[in-house]
Structure 1
């Protein structure tokens, strides 16, 4: 009983600190086959996540071969605008884009033709957005397989021909974009890169999925840099996830704790690891987190509490978190 009281006191203290700091957290995600579009959840502590809008979609996909909205990645601009990119198809050479001032009303959706200059490109998977404040530049990066382009890796029969690397473009206004370039080219097939800035060390941490399939890795690794323009070292950490298949990492600092949320896609549930020393050591905290039922690969990001309060008011949904599995 004493242990429970201590735990509740700590949780309440974290919650009150978060309210005092005016910070809340949002998670953009998809469910099922992603054809119904963008879903959002919120949290005040990084552990308990509650679906917004009654679990219904905020935006239905309208671009791409398959009209999908997988892996929605949202980044808030300094002027408050929310920019979003997503996977529009299993085999597109474009990615989807839209923007919003309130996450409810969205601009017309557009296709960004990031790999149209590569006629044999197989895909554009899991695009992510990251805003670099010093250069006032947005980085958009994603995974693509171009047959015969990179060092071959052993693959399973079901993934034959897939050998992904990370590519990127930059933009300042989402109207004009740089030429597509290689972003991350390790000696393994890599997908699902996501970046977070370390507020203490003031460097950048990138979480990636080792996608090698023979023998299967299917786990998450990290690499760090102090200069985005120079890229990330291709020598990565050992796996930070456990003996399960993991993908879709979403890194997030909650105060001084670094969480990486991810899809345990074979187990049909979401998991998390966290680091209390800024990425040096990790512990699995999957049993401590709760997410909306059916959540799939998305992005976690911090916002002012007023953003979450407006979303809650808009859908007239309960303020406090849901039970695990709800």
Structure 2
């Protein structure tokens, strides 16, 4: 009962903070992904403005790229950033931390797949803080040729999801398989909603699907059985989930064939309403993560960045 009350109170506090003191920040990158971390901001979760500069240039990994940047804010206020270092040939992802999103720690390469020498890639690491276990979860997609059943995709494009955990970003738990739904899966977002109530939003990367689905599980590590039918059309990827104060959620995703960002609104992750025409996303924005930050953090960011251009909707392709 106490645990349930703590989750309820935490939800109330988060909603209150979002309404009064917090803003939404959306991590981003621009192709060809060699410039580094970009940030968008929004007061309502619908209309986004670009801070119009890079805040961290990539320095780790063979390709020195930064794709799919994901940030989670810890209980002490520290922002932890992970990102994709390259398309192929990497066995890990990049990591850095910051107290203000302007000044960053030294970057580190976190090796998570070298125990599998045939690993093709490490794509789209997604980070979140799991309050019940007091640790950070990082989930990503990798291909190990010949390991799993496949659809029409080639063996070097047959992904499954893996994860690790950490409390200090110095030591990481051994990599484990996170999800094998029987098909190639990438771009996973884990959404904690309450005690023993987690949602997984994930891309089915098989041909001809390439769309986004959901599943439900009792913990951050699942299990996540019975993955749903898709709630987006084909040729969609890179979901980012945003919690609104009124127990509603927005799911942003890249409809890359249509060269636009789509947005679905949901209260239960079972029924979805397309609200794309109510939102605006600056041009060039690519696969990132939405998180909350204090308004004073945004004020500091605005003081360090040039005036952003008016927001318009645009997108281009990330993964295939």
TM-score tier by shorter-chain length is 0.7 to 0.9
Q: In structure 2, the residue corresponding to 1:311 is in which secondary structure?
A: helix
Query: Cα RMSD between the aligned structures?
Result: 1.9
Q: In structure 1, the residue corresponding to 2:288 is in which secondary structure?
A: strand
Residue of structure 2 in register with 1:107 after alignment: 105
Structure 1 residue 132, shift from structure 2 partner: 0.6
Please give the alpha-carbon distance, in whole angstroms, between the structure 2 residues aligned to 1:51 and 1:202.
Answer: 36
Q: In structure 1, the residue corresponding to 2:297 is in which secondary structure?
A: helix
Q: In structure 2, the residue corresponding to 1:59 is in which secondary structure?
A: coil
Residue of structure 2 in register with 1:64 after alignment: 61
Please give the alpha-carbon distance, in whole angstroms, between the structure 1 residues aligned to 2:37 and 2:78.
Answer: 17
Please give the alpha-carbon distance, in whole angstroms, between the structure 2 residues aligned to 1:67 and 1:192.
Answer: 21
Residues 1:117 and 2:109 aligned together: no
Residue of structure 1 in register with 2:183 after alignment: 188
Given the alignment, which residue of 256, 259, 268 partners 1:265? 256
TM-score normalised per structure 1: 0.86
Residue of structure 2 in register with 1:203 after alignment: 197
Alignment check: 8 A CA contact 2:283 2:311 kept: no
Residue of structure 1 in register with 2:136 after alignment: 138
Q: In structure 2, the residue corresponding to 1:313 is in which secondary structure?
A: helix
Residues 1:224 and 2:216 aligned together: yes
Structure 1 residue 23, shift from structure 2 partner: 2.1
Q: In structure 2, the residue corresponding to 1:99 is in which secondary structure?
A: strand
Please give the alpha-carbon distance, in whole angstroms, between the structure 2 residues aligned to 1:153 and 1:121.
Answer: 19
CA change 1:20–1:273 in 2 (3 A) is: closer
Residues 1:302 and 2:292 aligned together: yes
Q: In structure 2, the residue corresponding to 1:161 is in which secondary structure?
A: helix
Please give the alpha-carbon distance, in whole angstroms, between the structure 1 residues aligned to 2:274 and 2:185.
Answer: 22
Given the alignment, which residue of 235, 238, 245 partners 2:226? 235
Q: How many residues align?
A: 297
Please give the alpha-carbon distance, in whole angstroms, between the structure 2 residues aligned to 1:303 and 1:178.
Answer: 28
Structure 1 residue 152, shift from structure 2 partner: 2.3
Alignment check: 8 A CA contact 1:18 1:44 kept: no
Please give the alpha-carbon distance, in whole angstroms, between the structure 1 residues aligned to 2:82 and 2:18.
Answer: 29
- CA deviations over 1:26-61 (Å, ceiling 9, x no partner): 000111111001000000111101011xx1211111
Residue of structure 2 in register with 1:286 after alignment: 276
Residue of structure 1 in register with 2:160 after alignment: 165
TM-score normalised per structure 2: 0.88
Alignment check: 8 A CA contact 1:192 1:209 kept: yes
Structure 1 residue 315, shift from structure 2 partner: 2.3
Q: In structure 2, the residue corresponding to 1:193 is in which secondary structure?
A: strand
Q: Which runs of 5 or more residues in structure 2 are unaligned?
A: 1-15, 315-320
- CA deviations over 1:72-124 (Å, ceiling 9, x no partner): 00000111110010000111111110111111111111100100111100000
Q: In structure 2, the residue corresponding to 1:222 is in which secondary structure?
A: strand
Q: In structure 1, the residue corresponding to 2:287 is in which secondary structure?
A: strand
Alignment check: 8 A CA contact 2:160 2:185 kept: yes
CA change 1:140–1:19 in 2 (3 A) is: closer
Please give the alpha-carbon distance, in whole angstroms, between the structure 2 residues aligned to 1:138 and 1:292.
Answer: 30
